[in-house]
Structure 1
Amino acid sequence: MDEAEEEFPGIGAPARRALIRAGYTRLEQLDGVSESDLMTLSGMGPTGTDILSDLLAARGMSLEA
């Protein structure tokens, strides 16, 4: 398992690559980022944003609706 898989568990490879290309390498960097902004990333879809929302919520953070 590589670092991106560890940082974003459950996120598919295309969505992980999209996050990294956009400069998001740590889950904490997504706190307060809007779901609509993430959806513009090639490879990111509703399943990915749902998983990210759950991961962030587990750490007391959230995406902006």
Structure 2
Amino acid sequence: MRRYAGTMSSHPLPKISAPAARALASAGITTLEEAAAHGETALLGLHGFGPKGIRILREELEKIGLELAG
């Protein structure tokens, strides 16, 4: 699976809980590619974003051939 390289088209974030959506928005993350570039550790460090959000993002990223950065 490819990691985000920053040269692909952007895909909107999936439907996610309100707290997780606010956490991503407050970090300026508006696309799946931006979320992938931040990586799991950084995303889990956002207040309101948890393991369920990671699972949802992973599933959506897999659909477009990407994964969370290391």
TM-score (norm. length: structure 2): 0.74
Q: Which blocks of at least 5 consecutive residues in structure 1 are unaligned?
A: 1-6
Which residue pairs with 1:51 in the alignment?
A: 56
Segments of 4+ in structure 1 off by > 4 A?
Answer: none
Count, aligned residues: 59
Distance 1:8 1:31 in 2: 11
Q: Which blocks of at least 5 consecutive residues in structure 2 are unaligned?
A: 1-11
User: Which structure shows the bigger proportion of residues in helix conformation?
Assistant: 1
State whether structure 2 residue 52 is matched by structure 1 residue 42.
Answer: no
Deviation at 1:20, TM superposition (A): 0.6
CA-atom RMSD, angstroms? 1.3
Which residue pairs with 1:31 in the alignment?
A: 36
Which residue pairs with 1:9 in the alignment?
A: 14
Kindly, what percent of the aligned residue pairs are identical? 42
Which structure's relative contact order is higher, taking Cα pairs within 8 Å and 6+ residues apart? 2
